[in-house]
Amino acid sequence: MKPIHKDTHIGNVTLKVRDLEKLIQFYTETIGLKLLTRTNSAAQLTADGKTPLLTLEGDPTLKQRPVRSAGLYHLALLVPTRKDLANVLQYFIQAGTRLAGASNHQFSEAIYLQDPENNGIEIYRDVDRKDWVRDEKGKLPAISEPLDLQSLLHESDNKKWKGLPERTVMGHVHLNVTNIPEAEAFYMNVLGFEEQTRMAHHALFISAGGYHHHIALNIWNGPDAIPTPMDATGLLHYEIVVPSAEVFVDLKHSFEEHDIPYRAESNRIFVKDPAGNGIVIKNS
């Protein structure tokens, strides 16, 4: 499989949740997304008022996702500037929001937290790509240093919080899988994503177009992790958005060549990775 088109990116993430009202409140009031559409059983959330970034599908009968399962490690919302990230941090501090961590990865600065149903969330900003430092093989080193919170807060403009900026996008997804070689074969050999960073045998960071990562894969829930059960909370699927019909057709051919079952409807392909994580490939 040739490398996937450089303009491929991550789109909407869909989560199965038990308490739809509580999750809507969290993602609007705490995270700063805006409600786009709403039905009795689902809600779409957006930053720009038109593009869905997160869909919540509510079902109060769902069980909690098992700890040792594949699924979502975190979804990652990318804000446009360091000032925007500073404003997010300032708001979290003022609101008393509980954080799970804050890291400087050299290519990005990130804040981590969890929603009320234990779905991981990253909010981050990218360092200018010209300042990324690659090793002699062209790979990005796996660095996770403490984020300089005081330096970041100095960037805040201290204006009244109005939510995430309109140009916020879903920058990447980080997934729990059951087997790195199997995941690598699927995402790199079948889909055409390219390796950017590898952490020994337990994590792989891949992307289109040399980005630090559009998708991360880890086995931190154990090599004996099970796919997330359909009747449990967590990831239903996430979108991989490709820029043309040509790329879309190429991927269908790749699935057929590798005997990977998929379902195609109009400009969407529905498929699962080897760990059972749902993917929707969308032709933009």
One-character DSSP codes across 116-161: TT--EEEEEEEPPGGG----TTSPPP---EEP-HHHHHTT---PPP
Six token digits for residue 54: 């997160």
Residue 194 lies in a domain: yes
Residue 103 lies in a domain: no
Confidence of residue 224 (pLDDT cuts 50, 70, 90): confident
Instruction: Name the helix (H) or strand (E) containing 12.
Output: strand 9-17
Residue 139 lies in a domain: no
pLDDT of 21 above 80: yes
Mean pLDDT score of the chain: 96
Characterize the bridge pairing of strands 34-38 and 42-46: antiparallel
Residue 99 lies in a domain: no
Task: Show Cβ contacts of residue 65 under 8 Å, excluding neighbours closer than 6 positions.
Answer: 71, 118, 228, 229, 232, 233, 234
The pLDDT of 148-153, averaged and rounded, is: 96
Confidence of residue 164 (pLDDT cuts 50, 70, 90): very high
Residue 134 lies in a domain: no
Residue 218 lies in a domain: yes
Q: What is the pLDDT of residue 255?
A: 97
Task: Show Cβ contacts of residue 253 under 8 Å, excluding neighbours closer than 6 positions.
Answer: none
Residue 259 lies in a domain: yes
Domain count, the chain: 1
Instruction: Name the helix (H) or strand (E) containing 22.
Output: helix 20-25
Six token digits for residue 41: 């059983």
Which amino acid, one-letter code, is at 25? Q
The number of beta carbons lying within 10 Å of the beta carbon of residue 60 is 9
For 231-257, write each residue's pLDDT tens digit.
Answer: 999 999 999 999 999 999 999 999 999
Q: Domain limits at 187?
A: 9-74+156-283
CA dist 11 → 37, 46, 78, 214, 254 (Å): 17, 11, 12, 10, 21
Cα(124)–Cα(152) distance, integer angstroms: 12
pLDDT of 55 above 90: yes
Residue 262 lies in a domain: yes
Q: How many residues does the chain have?
A: 284
Q: What is the CATH number of the domain that holds 201?
A: 3.10.180.10
